[in-house]
């Protein structure tokens, strides 16, 4: 990931409704959530949610797939993993013990024992 892509992704997430929508899509996993349901969960009009989802799509954080009359949205976890890795690359000046607490908190979400999440973070 380059600096501009990271800025675009972080900018897209720097808005409460978009951040909530993205977190809901991450939680939903591969089955995704329909735009109307996301709007209902967020308490915003459907057209407003569609605009927010368009921003997240342009940033590469979500994708949409038409299913009948609605669009099913999913989080693009590979892009999100790339963003996290971009932020953590070269962290802690090469002192792994400084990053150990963060990595231990991330480990359960990437564990093969957790069937609700993407199991690997790309290197």
- 51-81 residue pLDDT tens: 999 999 999 999 999 999 889 999 999 999 9
pTM for this entry:
0.80
Cβ neighbourhood burial of 53 (10 Å; 0-12, 13-18, 19+) = buried
Q: Residues near 104 by Cβ (< 8 Å), separated by ≥ 6?
A: none
CA–CA distance, 45 with 61 (Å, rounded to integer): 21
CATH entry, 1-114, from 1.10.10.10, 1.10.510.10, 3.40.250.10, 1.20.1250.20:
1.10.10.10
Q: To 10 degrees, what angle do helices 77-88 and 3-13 make?
A: 110
Closest CA to 37 of 70, 77, 4: 70
């Amino acid at each position: 990931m380059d600096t501009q892509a990271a800025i675009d992704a972080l900018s897209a997430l720097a808005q409460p409704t978009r951040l909530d929508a993205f977190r809901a899509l991450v939680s939903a996993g591969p089955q995704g959530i329909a735009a109307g349901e996301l709007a209902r969960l967020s308490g915003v009009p459907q057209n407003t949610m569609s605009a927010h989802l368009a921003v997240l799509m342009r940033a590469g954080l979500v994708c949409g797939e038409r299913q009948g009359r609605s669009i099913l949205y999913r989080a693009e976890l590979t892009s999100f993993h790339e963003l996290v890795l971009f932020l953590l690359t070269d962290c802690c000046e090469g002192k792994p013990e400084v990053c150990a607490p963060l990595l231990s908190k991330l480990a359960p979400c990437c564990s093969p024992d957790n069937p609700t999440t993407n199991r690997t973070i790309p290197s």
